[in-house]
Amino acid sequence: AIAQLTLVVAIALDEASDMLCIQSTLTNQGDSALDLQWLAAGTLPLPGRCDTVRSFAGQHMQEFMAVTDPLTRSQWRRENRRGRTTQDNWPGAVVTTPGATGDAGLVFGAHLAWSGNSQQTIEWLADGQFQWQLGEWLAPGEGWLAPGASLQSPELLASCSPFGLDGLAANFHTALRQRLAWPGGAMRPRPVHLNTWEGFYFDLAPDKVMALADAAAAVGVERFVVDDGWFHGRHHDRAALGDWWPDEGKFPQGLGPLVDHVTGLGLEFGLWVEPEMVNPDSELFRAHPDWALQVAGRPLLTARNQLVLDISRPEVSAYLFDKISALLSAHAIGYLKWDLNRDLTTAGLADGRAGYRAQVAAAYALMARLRDAHPQVEIESCSGGGGRIDFGVLRHTHRVWVSDCIDALSRVDIQRGFLQFFPPEIMGAHVGSVPAHTTGRSQSLAFAAAVALPGHFGLEFDLRGVDEPSRAELARWIALYKRWRGLLHGGRVWRGDAGDGIVWQAHGDEAANELLLLSYRVAPTSHRYTPALRLTMLDRSARYRLTEVAAGGPAQHWQSAPALDALRSASGLVMDGAWLAEAGMPMPRTKAEVAHIVHLQKL
> Who contacts 15 (Cβ-Cβ below 8 Å, separation ≥6)?
none
Find the catalytic residue in 228, 243, 390, 404. 404
Helix axes 445-452, 408-418, angle to 10 degrees: 10
Per the CB < 8 A criterion, the answer to whether 223 and 270 are in contact is: yes
Active site residue 404: yes
The residue among 14, 54, 45 whose CA lies nearest residue 421 is 54
Give the CA diameter of the chain. 82
d(CA 512, CA 492): 9
Distance separating alpha carbons of residues 357 and 136, to the nearest angstrom:
9
> What's the CA gap between 273 and 337, in Å, rounded?
6
Torsion of CA 235, 238, 242, 247, to 10 degrees: -10
The verdict on whether omega for the bond into residue 435 sits within 30 degrees of 0, i.e. cis, is: yes
Instruction: Pick the catalytic residue from 103, 247, 339, 343.
Output: 339
Beta bridge partners of 56: 66
d(CA 430, CA 437): 13
Give yes or no: 462 in active site: no
What is the per-residue burial (b if ≥16 Cβ within 10 Å, else e) of 232-261?
bbbeebebbbbbbbbbeebbeeebeebbeb
Q: What is the DSSP letter of 195?
A: E
- Residue 561's identity, in one-letter code, is A
Q: How many helices (H) and strands (E) does the chain have?
A: 12, 30
Angle at 152 between CA 148 and CA 153, to 5 degrees: 150
Enter the DSSP assignment of 541: T
Dihedral-angle region of residue 116 (phi above 0 means left; psi in -120 to 50 means alpha; beta otherwise)? beta
Cα distances (Å, whole numbers) of residue 40 to 126, 137, 152, 156, 271: 20, 9, 10, 9, 38
**For residue 277, what are the β-bridge partners?**
308
Bridge partners (DSSP) listed for residue 159: 109
Q: Dihedrals φ, ψ of 497, to 5°?
A: -125, 115
**Residue 536 gets which letter from DSSP?**
T
3-state secondary structure of 226: strand
- Which residues are part of the catalytic machinery? 339, 404
